[in-house]
Amino acid sequence: LFDHADDDDAADLPLLPPFQEVAADYKSIGLTLRQHPLSFLRDELDQLGVVLSKDLATIDENSIVQVAGLVLLRQQPQTAKGIRFITLEDETGVTNLVVRPDIWERHRRMATRASALLAIGKLQRQGIIIHVVVQRMENLSQSLVKFRTQSRDFR
């Protein structure tokens, strides 16, 4: 049905750099099976002392940590007395953030719109559940502007 005789005549197109491949994946289908977008910022994040999600289990409770990731979801259960929950994803896993009402109000505009966040807060454990009680947040979206990620937000 198809004549493959011309396969050798196919154009040799240059390969895209990994960053552009991942950006193209996000632009076309909203995810990638390649490198995680945060991996392209990892050197800078390491210099800032940002902890990988997988390493949170090795850090002492009540330590102040910095975490970063794509915003997977935001939640505000009615039973949580104004507390918001944000789940971030880095290249090693997910981090659960707990955001008290006063912190949410201080960062509201950025926290509701950012596709990627850096959060600073106190590491806490409840059984095997680890979360970071946020004291401050910063928007990382501009650093990842080529990746059109979208959170899943629940009320």
- pLDDT for 4 equals 59
Q: Is 9 exposed, middle or buried (0-12, 13-18, 19+ CB in 10 A)?
A: exposed
Tell which wins on pLDDT, 39 or 140.
Answer: 140
Say which range, 20-24, 39-43, 92-96, has the weakest mean pLDDT: 20-24
Separation between Cα atoms, residue 84 and residue 56, nearest integer Å:
20
Q: Which residue has the higher pLDDT, 27 or 53?
A: 53
First to last CA, the chain: 54
- Of residues 70 and 80, more confidently modeled: 70
60: number of Cβ within 10 Å: 8
Residue 152 has pLDDT above 70, yes or no: no
pLDDT tier, 31 (very low <50, low <70, confident <90, very high otherwise): low
